[in-house]
Chains A and B, each alone.
Chain A
């Protein structure tokens, strides 16, 4: 018998677009993903609405103390939380599972027969999980911003150096800050893909982004050199802070974004490399193994090493990046801005920053210790001049500077300047902007 076939069968290719839609349908049909979508679009609104009405504000989180003052503080407080918890967890639950779920369900062979190309399956899965993650992140921003504006109002925001950002300026920076945080989120998502491919059914695959994020957060809290800090993708969750100083600290922010995107690309490429070489004929074998882990982890470690070596000389970053003159400059500037704010509050004649000629003199832990590096033992004396008054004013601040350059300044002086949390204004008691405030020391030598 010989084969005589009238029509020549052709292999119709399943396009990436159709594969993408298939993956989206599968993702969005999972109750877990649906729950996440609902939570990301509702929970922030509820959170901002509730907290903004409370008497005690989350002052430990950046911009928390301004939640009564403007609706734009809400999305930023949420971003502070999200960088450490929500975003790593979201990427874990979405990207950490797109490949592993097919292992769990035993559907690889089925999918391969249907799509006929591991490459297209990979691209479709990566794009679909990216879409869902974007949907969740957009939900967080939109929900918290709408709620903040509705409950508190579309009002100006006080930046991290005390200057006033108009409402529209604040809105733009909030969006920009979240966009910045998207870069490390993508890096975590890519690590999730990699974990999902390399670790197969093991629950470690699902948890990998969250664990990596946690590890990076711990590193950020340690007194490591600036170059190491900037070479980790987790720094992107912090570097947006620099947007809220004037001038904005663009350099660390851009480095944060670029490093994060480099990790995202590298981890995705590794996941792809592992995936297309996987043997799908054996359902018992999920592609995991020591080799997969080595192939996955080693290049990322090398990437980290290289970035550290590139960042250090390129930025001139040395040590902790927190030095006496930088702290003094940051504090003096912020004090001047906030002093003007207080002046307006008290209905006193207006002054300008130039007129105030503010200066700060800081020491750390007494005279024995060199004044550099993070710690809660910074002590500064701020002096300023009021036009028409001969004697210079002076106030003391205790500074708690954390390793990423953020500080809380705690006023310790005359009640009517910075010694008490309220000031008496013609309109009644109001929160005293000079009593306690958050600020940021730029870790890199200078902003271009």
Chain B
């Protein structure tokens, strides 16, 4: 109730000619939340993030950013930063010059530059021209440029693209700290592990519609059938037990038993295995709940639960 909203979008619709890129999209992101935006290629993620950055206005629907209604393009309030489709950098300038030019463009003192470069781990290459920067370095510099504006809403389109583990570490650290300080972060990603590690809530878009929006925990609904790998001391006996348990679907039974079941059914199965004197050595979901939900929600006809 008390948390101010960073983004409140209702019934957003955006068309490009015949293509309906966004169709009745609702999005609510409170301050201090890291919100993930996932969906297949062409789902409308970049389009939605572009609206939040103020690059365009929706054809219909209402959008409030940081409490201010946004009615026309390039009119989002101060405090929104980020990038879509890759950061904008000038290759003839060094990393530091890129940031300094941006700072002076905004009339801000170029004080925090060293600090933000440090935060994204680019101190060593601060005085190199960005012409030679790798994708990951460009992403990090783009993030640094956004940080320079001390944003209260940070928009990042696939920020983990091209990041090495160290880069990811830096970026994760920055985003987590920002969120703790009350900045809302909305990021799109194709990497489910990133989203699971970073985001407390996700929105799944599929062909312009919201297929799911809410906490990650809600995604792994108790009654959704998920795939599990079960390694036991006696695979053959285990298979028989599984076959005899109502609600269990056997997907694969060669070396490792792979079944599809809901959480309550799984509980029953494990109890039965133990009762039948079969040791359960390993039990793990085949795909993460987010990935499963993603696949289930975005490609319902082609649900694939296998190794």
Q: Given the interface contacts A1-B1, A26-B101, A112-B74, does A106 sit within 8 Å of B88 by beta carbon?
A: yes
Whether, in the assembled complex, B75 has its beta carbon less than 8 Å from a beta carbon of chain A, the answer is: yes
> Chain B interface: which of A114-122, A196-204, A219-227, A298-306?
A114-122
Whether A3 pairs with B106 at a CB distance below 8 angstroms is no
A291 on interface, CB distance cutoff 8 Å? no
Q: Give per-residue flags for B74-92: 1 if the beta carbon is below 8 A from chain A beta carbons, else 0.
A: 1111110101111111111
State whether A9 and B93 are in contact (beta carbons under 8 Å apart), knowing that A19-B105, A110-B83, A115-B105 are contacts in the complex: no
Nearest neighbor of B92 in chain A, beta-carbon distance? A29
- Taking the complex as formed, is B170 at the interface, i.e. its CB lies under 8 A from any CB of chain A? no
Shortest CB distance A323–B (Å): 55
Residues of A participating in the B interface, judged by any CB pair closer than 8 Å? 1-6, 8-12, 14-15, 18-19, 21-22, 25-26, 29-31, 105-117, 280-283
**CB-CB < 8 A to B16: which residues of A?**
282
**Distance in Å from the Cβ of B50 to the closest Cβ of chain A?**
6
Q: How far is the CA of A26 from the CA of B94 in the complex (A)?
A: 11
Is there an interface contact between B74 and A283, defined as CB atoms closer than 8 Å? no
- CB contacts (< 8 Å) of A12 on chain B: these are 78, 106-107
For residue B106, which residue of chain A has the nearest CB?
A: A14
- Bound-state Cα–Cα, A106 to B87, Å: 9
Residues of B within 8 A of A113 (CB): 53-55, 74, 81, 83
- The answer to whether A29 and B54 touch across the interface, beta carbons within 8 angstroms, is no
What's the Cα separation between A21 and B47 when bound, in Å? 31
Point out the residue from B78, B105, B152 that lies within 8 Å of A10, measured CB to CB. Answer: B78
Give the chain A neighbours of B223 by CB distance below 8 A: none
Q: Could you list 26 A-B pairs, sorted by A, with CB under 8 Å?
A: A1-B5, A2-B1, A3-B4, A3-B8, A4-B2, A5-B67, A9-B66, A9-B67, A9-B77, A9-B78, A9-B152, A11-B77, A18-B105, A18-B107, A21-B104, A25-B93, A26-B90, A29-B92, A30-B92, A31-B92, A108-B88, A109-B50, A113-B53, A113-B81, A114-B105, A280-B55
Residue interface bits B1-13, CB-to-A below 8 A is 1, else 0: 1111100100000
Is B26 on the interface with A (CB-CB < 8 A)?
no
- 8 Å CB contact of A26 from B2, B3, B92: B92
Task: List the A side residues contacting B152 at CB < 8 Å.
Answer: 9
The answer to whether A106 and B86 have CB atoms under 8 Å apart is yes
Q: With A1-B1, A12-B107 known to touch, is A26 a contact of B93 (CB < 8 Å)?
A: yes
Q: Is the CB of B77 within 8 A of A4?
A: no
Give A281 to B101 CA distance when docked, in angstroms.
Answer: 24
| B30 interface residue (CB < 8 Å to A) | yes
* A-side contacts of B89, CB under 8 Å: 105, 107, 110
B102 at the interface (CB under 8 A from A): yes
A3 to B66 alpha-carbon distance, docked (Å): 8
Supposing A1-B28, A26-B101, A113-B55 touch, asked if A9 and B79 sit within 8 A by C-beta, the answer is: yes
| B67 close to A3 (CB less than 8 A) | yes
Q: Chain B: interface residue count, which band?
A: 35 or more
- In the assembled complex, the Cα of A403 lies from the Cα of B88 at a distance in Å of 51
Nearest residue (CB) in A for B90 is A26
B123 at the interface (CB under 8 A from A): no
The answer for the CA separation of A193 and B195 in the assembled complex, in Å, is 44
Contacts of B47 in A (CB 8 A): 281
Is B92 a contact of A22 with CB atoms below 8 Å? Answer: no
User: In this complex, which of A15, A29, A30 has the most chain B Cβ atoms within 10 angstroms of its Cβ?
Assistant: A29
Interface centre among B87, B97, B104, B105 (most CB of A within 10 A): B105
CB pair A29–B105 under 8 Å, yes or no, is no
Which residues from A are CB-within-8-Å of B161? none
CB neighbours (8 Å) of B55 from chain A are: 109, 112-113, 280-281
Contacts of B287 in A (CB 8 A): none
Determine how close the nearest CB of chain A comes to the CB of B130; give it in whole angstroms.
Answer: 10
From A1, A26, A107, A109, give the contact of B84 (CB < 8 A): A109
What separation, in Å, do the CA atoms of A247 and B30 have in the docked complex? 78
Tell me the nearest residue of chain A to B78, going by C-beta. Answer: A9
Q: Cβ of B68 < 8 Å from any Cβ of A? A: yes
Kindly list chain B residues whose C-beta atoms are within 8 Å of the C-beta of A114: 102, 105-106
Contact of B88 among A31, A109, A281 (CB under 8 A): A109
Which residues of A lie under 8 Å from residue B174 when comparing CB positions?
A: none
Residues from chain B with a CB closer than 8 A to the CB of A107 are 88-90
Residues of B within 8 A of A25 (CB): 93, 97, 101
Give the shortest distance, in Å, between A149 (CB) and chain B (any CB): 36
- Quote the shortest CB–CB distance from B102 to chain A (angstroms): 6
Of B28, B68, B87, B91, which contacts A110 at CB under 8 A?
B87
| 8 A-B pairs closest in CB distance | A110-B88, A5-B67, A9-B77, A107-B88, A29-B92, A3-B5, A116-B74, A3-B67
Are the CB atoms of B91 and A106 closer together than 8 Å? Answer: no
A98 to B79, CA, bound (A): 29
Q: Which residues of A contact B90 (CB under 8 A)?
A: 26, 29, 105, 107
State in angstroms the CA–CA spacing of A15 and B4 once bound together: 31
Q: How far is the CB of B132 from chain A (nearest CB, A)?
A: 14
Which B residues are in CB contact (< 8 Å) with A22?
Answer: 101, 104-105
The chain B residue with its CB closest to the CB of A26 is: B90
Quick one: closest B residue to A279, CB to CB?
Answer: B56
In the bound assembly, the distance between CA atoms of A110 and B54 in angstroms comes to 11
B146 CB, min distance to chain A CBs, angstroms: 10
Contact of B67 among A4, A11, A106 (CB under 8 A): A4
Q: Whose C-beta in chain B lies nearest to the C-beta of A101?
A: B90
Closest to A25 in B: B101
Within the assembled complex, what's the spacing in Å between the Cα atoms of A25 and B106?
A: 14
